[in-house]
Amino acid sequence: MSPPAEITIPTTSLYTPTDKSKPYTLYNITLRLPLRTYVHQKRYSEFATLHQTLTAQVGAAPPAPLPAKTWFKSTLSSPELTEDRRRGLEAYLRAIAESPDRRWRDTSAWRTFMGLPGLNSAGNSAVSVRGGFGIPNKDAANAAAAQDPGTWLDLHGEMKRDFQEARRCLARRDAATENSVALEAGSAAKKALVKGSGLLNHLRDGLKAMEEAKRLGEGEIRRRKDLLAAARVDRDGLDKLSSTISTSAKAAQKGPPSASDKAALIGTAASKGRGRVLGAPLPETDQTRELDNEGVAQLQRQLMRDQDQDVEALTKIIRRQREMAEAIHREVEEQTEMLGHVDNQVDVMEGKVSVARNRTKKIS
């Protein structure tokens, strides 16, 4: 008997395919099991296919109707339609999951759609289905999971495991006696570190969204911010450690000379090759040397996000400086006006003193 599941669709995401085809809406399904919480992303057409398959396999329609397809409106331009369809799809899935009749839940179509193990499977603890099947954008799935208080903690645990895996790989790299083993361990550490850093960014953005929506108390927000601060310190330390070269790697580098070493020895040939070379590959760095194409792309996205955050922080500082300058300007204008008023009062008082002095002279 499968464990009871709690199914919700708290948010939606807009996805644009890489082939520049028409964008569409993804519904972020949160599936809470006793041991883990998963997030799937499905589009409306997949719900429609599920509905048809369940009806065909069981011989009867599910206990709740599927929200009807609209022909004159689109979820891309109508937030009201998106919200109505989100609520309808959530009610549709919950009706199947909570129905006393198990016929729809026991079908292969339902278990595949929800990412559940088969009926003959021993369990689901060893199967990672976060993100579901056929998800076009796992970053969007992580971003959606980070905006839910429950799945946020699951992502945080996954991030910590990635950092622990990076630390184990770095230790294996430093203890390796062969250059190939050291390079393999260093590459694995880089991959785990990049993955954990990506989750850290999603956790930060998700916590900010939950704070703005007031989905958590102030005390819990502070606690999770402390967790992220500790994770950033851990990430920075691992990043510095991964950028260093192990002792065995340094010893291995004393073997056959590389092409750059040969070019450095041949001074005349190197001097002739100076200048700009069109189409020449960019030189490797300590951060990209041990990454594959996917890792380099993820590292680039992370660096771009960090740069965007720096620009945003700088924008806030400049905006604050401008507000302070405008406040100072207004204060100076008010002080100038007050000084002008005092000057007028002084002139009036001097006139009164002069009149009193003249009267005193007449009396005397």
Quick one: pLDDT band at residue 135, thresholds 50, 70, 90?
A: very low
- Residues 183, 284 contacting (CB under 8 angstroms): no
Cα 348 to the chain's mean position, in Å? 68
Per-residue model confidence as pLDDT tens digits over 18-75: 777 888 888 888 887 776 677 888 899 999 999 999 999 999 999 999 998 887 778 8
Beginning with the edge strand found earlier in the chain, give each strand of the sheet holding 37-42 in spatial order. Answer: 6-15, 24-32, 37-42
* DSSP code for 311: H
Range from 125-129, 245-249, 255-259, 326-330 carrying the lowest mean pLDDT = 125-129
Tell me how far CA of residue 6 lies from CA of 90, 130, 158, 187, in angstroms: 11, 15, 21, 39
Rounded to two decimals, the pTM is 0.51
- Residues 8, 90 contacting (CB under 8 angstroms): yes
Q: At what angle do helices 149-175 and 218-243 cross, to 10 degrees?
A: 20
The residue type found at 48 is A
The residue type found at 143 is A
Ramachandran region, residue 132 (left: φ > 0; alpha: ψ -120 to 50; beta: rest)? left
> What mean pLDDT is predicted for residues 134-161?
74
Q: What is the 3-state secondary structure (H, E, C) of 130-152?
A: CECCCCCCHHHHHHHHHCCHHHH
Per-residue model confidence as pLDDT tens digits over 220-274: 889 999 999 999 999 888 888 887 765 445 555 555 555 655 565 555 444 444 4
Per-residue model confidence as pLDDT tens digits over 286-308: 667 667 777 778 888 888 888 88
Query: How many angstroms separate the CA atoms of 77 and 234, rounded?
Result: 42
Q: Specify the 3-state DSSP secondary structure of 234.
A: helix
Residue 118: per-residue pLDDT: 58
